[in-house]
Amino acid sequence: MSERIRLSPSERKQLEEGARSRKAKVEEARRGRIILGLAAGAGIRELSRQERCSVNTVRLWKERFGAERLAGLWSRHQGKPVPKGLARLEARIVDLTLNKPPPDGSTHWSSRKLATRLGVSQSRVSRVWARSGLQPHRLRRYMQSDDPHFEAKAAKVIGLYLRPPSHAAVFCVDEKSAIQALDRLDPVLPLSPGRPERYGF
C-alpha cells in the first residue's frame, strides 16, 4: 500500500471536475483520476491497471503532484524547436507578398506560387499570411467622390432600385461597348496586413 496523498477541498474539487469534464484532454483527465485514486488509498499497480498505463506513469504523476501540487500535473512538452532562420524566412514571405508581384504577370501571389519560389511548403506560406492578416487573393473596391451632392444623388438611384415607381421600368446602363477604363481615376490602395488591396470604381 503506497502512502496516501492528502488533498485540500479546492484541489479535490478541481481534480474531480477535470476528471469528469468532456472538454478536458484525455491525458489531463487521466492524471486527475490517478491523483484522486492515490488520495483514496489505491495502490500504484492497481491504478496502472485501472487507467491502462504503466506503473512508471502513475509514479511520475504522484511525484510531480507531491512536489508541485496541481501545477505539477500540467504538460511539460517543450514543443517542436523553432528552425534557424525562421523569422527571416517569414519576413521574406511578407515582403514578397506586399512589395514584389509574381514574375509571371499574375496580379498577386498564390500560396503555392510563393512556396515554390521560396522552396518552402504551401502550408508554411498560408500560416504566415494568416498570422500577418494578409489575404492577397481578396480585392475590394472603393468609391471616392468630390461631388458635394454625391450622397443625395446616390440615395435617389438606390431608391429607384428599392422602390421603383409603379407602372415604370428601371434601366441600368453601366458600360459602353468598345470603351475600357484602362486607367483609374483614384489610386490603387495596396495590400496591407488586415486589409485587402482596393481599387477605385
pLDDT per residue as tens digits for the range 152-168: 998 998 898 888 888 88
15 and 60 housed in the same domain: yes
69 and 13 housed in the same domain: yes
Q: Name the domain boundary from 18, 39, 73.
A: 73
- Contacts for 104 with CB less than 8 Å, ≥ 6 apart: 113
Lowest mean per-residue pLDDT among 19-33, 130-144, 156-170 = 19-33
62 and 105 housed in the same domain: no
Res 152: pLDDT = 92
Res 125: pLDDT = 92
Give a yes or no: residue 91 inside a domain: yes
Give a yes or no: residue 13 inside a domain: yes
Lowest mean per-residue pLDDT among 29-43, 65-79, 95-109 = 65-79
Question: Phi and psi at residue 199, in whole multiples of 5°?
Answer: -115, 140
Give a yes or no: residue 196 inside a domain: no
Confidence band, pLDDT 50/70/90 cuts, at residue 181? low
117 and 62 housed in the same domain: no
Give a yes or no: residue 98 inside a domain: yes
Q: Say whether pLDDT at 18 is over 80.
A: no
19 and 68 housed in the same domain: yes
Q: Say whether pLDDT at 100 is over 80.
A: yes
Q: Domain of 104?
A: 86-138
| Lookup: cell for 124 | 508554411
66 and 98 housed in the same domain: no
Give a yes or no: residue 106 inside a domain: yes
Give a yes or no: residue 68 inside a domain: yes
**At residue 166, what is the residue type?**
S
Radius of gyration of the chain (CA): 32
Q: Say whether pLDDT at 4 is over 80.
A: no
68 and 93 housed in the same domain: no
13 and 63 housed in the same domain: yes
57 and 93 housed in the same domain: no
Residue 31 DSSP SS3 = helix
Give a yes or no: residue 195 inside a domain: no
88 or 15: whose pLDDT is higher?
A: 88
Q: How many domains does the chain have?
A: 2
> Euclidean distance between the first and final Cα of the chain, in Å?
80
Lowest mean per-residue pLDDT among 7-11, 131-135, 157-161 = 7-11
15 and 69 housed in the same domain: yes
92 and 127 housed in the same domain: yes
Q: Name the domain boundary from 138, 155, 174.
A: 138
Question: Phi and psi at residue 144, in whole multiples of 5°?
Answer: -130, 125
Give a yes or no: residue 124 inside a domain: yes
127 or 82: whose pLDDT is higher?
A: 127
Q: Name the domain boundary from 73, 107, 129.
A: 73
Cell 510563393 identifies what position? 114
Res 188: pLDDT = 81
66 and 93 housed in the same domain: no
Q: Is the pTM of this model over 0.85?
A: no
